[in-house]
Amino acid sequence: MIWDELETRLTQLAAEGLVRRRRTLDSPCGPEAVIDGRRLIAFCSNDYLGLANHPALIAAVQEAAARWGVGSGASHVVSGHLHPHEELEQRLAAFVGRERALYFTTGYMANLAVAPTLVERHDAIFADRLNHASLIDAAQLARAEHIRYPHGDLATLADYLKSNRARRKLILTDAVFSMDGDLAPLPELLELAERFDAWLVVDDAHGFGVLGPGGRGSLAYFDLPPSPRLILMGTLGKAAGVSGAFVAGDHRVLEWLMQRARPYIFTTASSPVIAAALLTSLELIAAGDDRRAHLQALIARLRNGLAGLPWRLIPSLTAIQPLIIGENQAAVALAEQLLIRGLWVPAIRPPTVPTGTARLRISLSAAHSEMQIDALIAALRECATLRPSPAKGEGAPVNRC
């Protein structure tokens, strides 16, 4: 029976330490979370600037609901494009220094819109091997040849681009990689796109609001000028503290997306309340240098505090600080021990990350305090002292702290 097969596969997931568990919060998104009556210090969310529960955003939502209601009623191209949506798109384009922007309900939808609308059969997509799942799905949906190059390997990518005879070529990459926290070499990727006449599509989900002057993102961090072949996607449910995403770039590209991108055309527009909140969020991001400075100080404090631990802390200048544990069950066990100590840090396992690289994904926010960072450092150091030593001739031990 098909149900028996599902039961068997679920049991196998559990045996491999790959079962995901949802936790229900009884508190707003913030540096602390209440779960089952317990107050925990949370290092889980992507609310990098601490805006998700900001009073100004709450006030903007309340005012917008009274003025615009809560639903848009139709897709953007029918009758669901309200004034807050239009103003948001204009402000987003100006904020990131591009000619035009389109607002999408989610980042996943935005990514599914771009590549399949620009390329098709007989074209080729060149994608970093560590790209986000939405970019992988977008490449598959495009039905173009999907060529994955080793993470950050520009020489291999150049060889692939040079030897490929596709009609159209598209380079697809994260700007900040969501599970490693490192940055893509965007200036070099743009140079390759220029040399080989390719699109360059950049997913700046984890750089927007955090990196670059005024929080304008990874393109601003690298001081990349506008280019007709450079297309930016940014999400608005992370540092911006709300939800949704945008695609920005050359006005001709954005018009083509509006005309042909199925995830944009065939879905109801997001609530105008969300758009109004995002307009306020953009103001807070632009004025958020103090928040970004505090976040960078917390990142340095954490990295200094975790130096010398038996687990590998991947180099990262972003709010994403991955601590590589290795084996799935060991990562889960360490996360559970931190939970006992009042610290919520997610264990990330395959298929989200490569096999053998299960990790704790420590996500920092400008809303965290130095004391909360120190509590995490102390707990991890305590767990490290409880970690058993390997027997002679054995490999790395499984963490049972």
Query: Does residue 11 lie in a domain region?
Result: no
Same domain, 222 and 155: yes
Query: Does residue 228 lie in a domain region?
Result: yes
Query: Does residue 186 lie in a domain region?
Result: yes
SS3 state at 38: strand
Q: How far is residue 385's CA from residue 254's CA, in Å, rounded to a whole number?
A: 55
Query: Does residue 397 lie in a domain region?
Result: no
pTM of this structure: 0.92
Same domain, 141 and 115: yes
Same domain, 229 and 100: yes
Determine the structural domain holding residue 83 and report its residue range.
55-286
Residue 112, C-beta contacts closer than 8 angstroms, at least 6 positions apart: 134, 137, 138, 141, 263
Same domain, 274 and 377: no
Find the CATH number of the domain harbouring 43. 3.90.1150.10
The total of structural domains in the chain comes to: 2
SS3 state at 117: helix
- What confidence score (pLDDT) does residue 386 get? 81
Q: How far is residue 248's CA from residue 217's CA, in Å, rounded to a whole number?
A: 12
Q: How far is residue 370's CA from residue 377's CA, in Å, rounded to a whole number?
A: 11
Same domain, 171 and 71: yes
Sign of CA dihedral 127, 313, 211, 50: positive
Same domain, 45 and 86: no
Same domain, 191 and 236: yes
Query: Does residue 398 lie in a domain region?
Result: no
CA dihedral 124, 129, 130, 134 (to 10 degrees): 30
Same domain, 211 and 298: no
Same domain, 311 and 377: yes
CA-wise closest residue to 157 among 118, 131, 134:
131
Query: Does residue 231 lie in a domain region?
Result: yes
Query: Does residue 139 lie in a domain region?
Result: yes
- What confidence score (pLDDT) does residue 388 get? 58
CA-wise closest residue to 206 among 135, 150, 312:
135
Find the CATH number of the domain harbouring 180. 3.40.640.10
Q: How far is residue 318's CA from residue 179's CA, in Å, rounded to a whole number?
A: 11
Same domain, 246 and 314: no
Query: Does residue 2 lie in a domain region?
Result: no
Same domain, 274 and 295: no
Residue 66, C-beta contacts closer than 8 angstroms, at least 6 positions apart: none
Active site residues: 178, 206, 238
Same domain, 246 and 335: no
- What confidence score (pLDDT) does residue 3 get? 80
Sign of CA dihedral 11, 12, 14, 15: positive
Instruction: Output the tens digit of pLDDT for each of the chain's 401 residues.
Output: 788 899 999 899 888 878 888 889 999 999 999 999 999 999 999 999 999 999 999 999 999 999 999 999 999 999 999 999 999 999 999 999 999 999 999 999 999 999 999 999 999 999 999 999 999 999 999 999 999 999 999 999 999 999 999 999 999 999 999 999 999 999 999 999 999 999 999 999 999 999 999 999 999 999 999 999 999 999 999 999 999 999 999 999 999 999 999 999 999 999 999 999 999 999 999 999 999 999 999 999 999 999 999 999 999 999 999 999 999 999 999 999 999 999 999 999 998 999 999 999 999 999 999 999 999 999 999 999 886 544 433 334 444 44
**Of 269, 286, 303, which residue is a domain's last?**
286
Q: How far is residue 48's CA from residue 209's CA, in Å, rounded to a whole number?
A: 8
